[in-house]
Every structure is written in structure tokens, then in C-alpha cells.
Amino acid sequence: MKVFLKEDVKNLGRIGDIVNVAEGYARNFLLPKKFAVEANTGNIKEFEHNKKMIQEKAAKIKDANKAEADKLSALTVTLRAKAGEEEKLFGSVTNMDIAEALKAEGYDIDKKKIVIAEPIKRLGTYTAEIKLHHDVSATVKINVVSE
């Protein structure tokens, strides 16, 4: 079944793309959540008419994400953790810990959008990438200190 995407769908496509998907996926997920509309002749004409508005919406979202990425890149998050000998942590710092620290700073970031290059298991300064949009990401400094 061919559908027009009205929203970005991970691993499928971006706003405005025409994609071919299984009927069940379209009927049970994409169409009820209004992520897509069926690509028939009537919808094609309507979609071409609305395409400019959809592209403007996507540009506004991207601009808002760029502004937030600039603010996040200037931020340094300090996390306190219990550490033993040789500055080794009991456990590790996870995406959820970073998301909670960002929430305390006033940023509501989903833990799935936070990417850590390597597990944080020692005290020190690290960086984490936050993917806000498929084209926009921010790098946050993380300072892990002992309790």
C-alpha cells in the first residue's frame, strides 16, 4: 500500500515522502496515528496543496530543535555518584541518569535520544550526544564527581 507521510517516521521516511508499506502497518499504525494518508488520486491532489504547509512545519520544528541544541551544547551537567578506589564508580552512569539531570536543568529529553560513546564507569568529564532531530544533534558535557 502506498502512503504519504505527514510526519517523520523512524526507519521509514520523512515528511512528504511517498512510501510503500504493508497494509497492516498502514491500517493499524500509520493511519490511526495520522502519520500518513493513503496515496490515491484524491489524496495526491490534496497532499500537493498541503505540501508547502507541511514543509514549513518541518522547517519550524528543525529551527526550534537547532535553538535548543545550541542551548544544550553550552550546558555542563554535573552528576554525583558513589565511587570507590581509583575513582571507579559503583555501577555506571546511564542515559536515564543523564535525562534526569537534564530535566532538573529544565530540559525534557527522552533517554532514548541520548547517545553515550562508551559506558561511564569512572569519575571525570565525558560527552554525550543528544539527537533532537534527524539532522540536529547537540553535545553535552557530563562531569561525574564523587558523592
**Domain extents for the chain?**
2-63, 75-146
Evaluate if residue 138 carries a pLDDT over 80. yes
Q: What is the pLDDT, as a whole number, of residue 125? A: 93
pLDDT score of 8: 84
CATH number, span 2-63: 3.40.5.10
pLDDT at 47: 76
Distances from the Cα of 44 to the Cα of 47, 57, 89, angstroms: 5, 19, 57
Q: pLDDT of 49-70, one tens digit each?
A: 777 787 788 889 888 889 888 8
Q: Using CA atoms, how far apart are residues 121 and 123, in angstroms rounded to an integer?
A: 7
Distance CA 2, CA 127 (A): 41
Predicted pLDDT of residue 27: 93
Cut 0.95: pTM above it: no
Predicted local confidence at residue 143, as pLDDT: 93
In CATH, the number for domain 75-146 is: 3.10.430.100
- Average pLDDT of the chain is 88
| pLDDT score of 21 more than 90 | yes
Question: What confidence score (pLDDT) does residue 26 get?
Answer: 92
pLDDT for 39 beyond 90:
no
Q: What is the CA radius of gyration of the chain?
A: 21
Q: At residue 45, does pLDDT exceed 90?
A: no
Share of the chain above pLDDT 90, in %: 35
Mean local confidence (pLDDT), 69-86: 89
